[in-house]
């Protein structure tokens, strides 16, 4: 049990999570979510297959060592052992990355707010964090979901989710775990980029207000926001430069410079879109915080397809994972280009 918060250790872990040229692998899909991923590649969703797939990534030495700072795990995965009996957490640590854990219980319908959700999981969280710390977790993740639609989001949804995020973050720091604070404004609707900007600004300002009220140490956390993009059903198309400019602008308006780093979610963008947008933001320069990636599907879609559940495809899957991790590492350094992407993929 951690009696007092070691702020120096928390800050150091947060800094390591956003180290230059490194990002966070989001491998925390629930059993239900990975079912959809496996269905797409014709793989049965068994515990062994989930372990084998994640093990192949954690054993991808070049990618894990050079481009991945931390890995967000699901409850099942943080307790699993590799085929040879080595705990998966130890594989991550051996590669020099930090094990992390998803701790929320998912988004549930928000009473009296049709079409909106509240993320649950605060009950008993302090005790679970102590257990996860013993299992090796040094950071955690909690995702709040903000949808854009007719008449939404409401003040109620934004305030309730921001409050829950802040309470989660405070509990994490009390238990010597760095919180990833993830307020995701979804890109599922038909809204334009200006609407995404306005809702993201509202959300982020509310989140940081609640973090202040809950006395969360900003130096010992990492923000995981969406980028400013139009909805997937929107007729409007925007250039990479506009996404980068608007995203950086809203972050400068809302995120205190004490936050060590911002690790973006990909949020349904294609692999290359997520990489290109990150690169364009970093190239703007003069930012008070590090910018990097905390991608799930945008890092994993290619290796999943290459693997397809076959042992003989492990090498190809690891190569695909290394490629995507390297491209995102270059983007986090502001050194990526579409030409380099094609050359490296060839």
Instruction: Name the DSSP class of 81.
Output: B
Please, what sign has the CA dihedral across residues 78, 84, 86, 92?
Answer: negative
pLDDT confidence tier of residue 1, bands split at 50, 70 and 90: very low
Q: Which of 16, 22, 141, 224 is catalytic?
A: 224
Q: Counting runs of H as helices and runs of E as strands, what totals does the chain give?
A: 14, 10
Active site residue 283: no
DSSP category for residue 184: E
What percent of the chain is predicted at pLDDT more than 90? 94
Residue 114, sorted as left (phi over 0), alpha (psi -120 to 50) or beta, turns out to be: beta
Torsion of CA 186, 192, 193, 194, to 10 degrees: -110
CA 10 to chain centre: 18
Residue 271 CA: distances (Å) to CA of 121, 275, 335: 30, 6, 16
Task: Report d(CA 198, CA 180) in Å as an integer.
Answer: 23
Distance CA 167, CA 186 (A): 22
**Residues 31-55: tens digit of each pLDDT:** 999 999 999 999 999 999 999 999 9
**CA 251, CA 179: separation in Å to the nearest integer?**
18
Point out the catalytic residue in the list 29, 116, 182, 184: 182
DSSP of 94-130, one letter per residue?
HTTPEEEEE----EEEPTT-TT-EEE---TTHHHHHH
Residues 6+ apart with CB under 8 A from 27: 54, 57, 71, 72, 73, 74, 77, 296, 300
CB atoms within 10 A of CB 246: 19
What is the pLDDT at residue 341?
83
Q: What is the total residue count of the chain?
A: 346
Q: Name the nearest CA neighbour of 56 among 99, 16, 95.
A: 95
The answer to whether the CB of 82 falls within 8 A of the CB of 97 is no
Short-list 84, 30, 17, CA closest to 290: 17
Entry pTM: 0.96
Decide if 182 is catalytic: yes
Q: Which helix (H) or strand (E) holds 14?
A: helix 7-17
pLDDT digits (tens, 9 = 90+) for 151-210: 999 999 999 999 999 999 999 999 999 999 999 999 999 999 999 999 999 999 999 999
Helix (H) or strand (E) holding 90: helix 88-94
Residue found under tokens 């404004």: 185
Q: Return d(Cα 302, Cα 319) in angstroms, integer.
A: 9
Rounded distance, CA 20 to CA 33, Å? 30
**What are the phi and psi torsion angles at 218 (to 5°)?**
-65, -30
Band of the pLDDT at 94, cuts 50, 70, 90? Answer: very high
Tokens (6 digits) for 252: 């400068």
- Contact status, residue 212 vs residue 170, Cβ threshold 8 Å: no
Residue 4 confidence (pLDDT) above 90:
no
Q: What is the pLDDT of residues 253-289, one digit of tens each?
A: 999 999 999 999 998 899 999 999 999 999 999 999 9
Both tokens of 5, joined, read: 């918060």
**36 secondary structure, DSSP code:** H
What pLDDT, on the 0 to 100 scale, is given for residue 186?
Answer: 97
Question: What mean pLDDT is predicted for residues 316-322?
Answer: 97
CATH class of the domain at 7-345: alpha beta
DSSP letter assigned to residue 312 = G
pLDDT digits (tens, 9 = 90+) for 17-37: 999 999 999 999 999 999 999
| Average pLDDT over the chain, rounded to an integer | 96
Give residue limits of the domains in the chain: 7-345
Q: Is the pLDDT of residue 3 over 70?
A: no
Give which of 277, 280, 214, 225 is closest to 253, Cα–Cα: 225
DSSP 244-256: HHHHHHHHHHHS-
């Amino acid at each position: 049990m951690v009696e007092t918060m070691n702020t120096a250790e928390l800050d150091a872990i947060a800094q390591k999570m956003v180290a230059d040229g490194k990002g966070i692998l989001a491998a925390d899909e629930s059993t239900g979510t990975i079912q959809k991923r496996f269905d797409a590649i014709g793989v049965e969703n068994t515990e062994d297959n989930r372990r084998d797939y994640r093990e192949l990534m954690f054993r991808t030495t070049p990618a894990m060592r050079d481009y991945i700072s931390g890995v967000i795990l699901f409850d099942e995965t943080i307790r699993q052992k590799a085929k040879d009996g080595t705990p998966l957490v130890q594989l991550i640590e051996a590669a020099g990355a930090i094990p992390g854990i998803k701790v929320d219980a998912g988004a549930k319908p928000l009473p009296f707010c049709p079409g909106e959700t509240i993320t649950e999981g605060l009950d008993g969280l302090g005790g679970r964090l102590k257990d996860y710390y013993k299992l090796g977790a040094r950071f955690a993740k909690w995702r709040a979901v903000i949808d854009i639609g007719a008449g939404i989001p409401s003040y109620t949804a934004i305030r309730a989710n921001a409050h829950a995020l802040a309470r989660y973050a405070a509990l994490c720091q009390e238990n010597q775990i760095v919180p990833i604070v993830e307020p995701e404004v979804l890109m599922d609707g038909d809204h334009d980029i200006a609407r995404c900007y306005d809702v993201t600004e509202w959300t982020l300002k509310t989140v940081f207000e609640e973090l202040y009220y809950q006395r969360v140490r900003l130096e010992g956390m990492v923000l995981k926001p969406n980028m400013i993009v139009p909805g997937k059903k929107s007729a409007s198309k925007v250039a990479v430069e506009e996404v980068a400019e608007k995203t950086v602008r809203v972050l400068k308006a809302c995120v205190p410079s004490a936050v060590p780093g911002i690790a973006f979610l990909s949020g349904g963008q294609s692999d290359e879109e997520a990489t290109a947008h990150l690169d364009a933001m970093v190239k703007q320069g003069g930012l008070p915080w590090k910018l990097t990636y905390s991608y799930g599907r945008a890092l994993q879609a290619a290796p999943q397809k290459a693997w397809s559940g076959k042992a003989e495809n492990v090498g190809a899957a690891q190569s695909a994972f290394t490629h995507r991790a390297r491209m995102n590492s270059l983007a986090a350094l502001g050194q990526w280009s579409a030409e380099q992407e094609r050359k490296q993929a060839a």
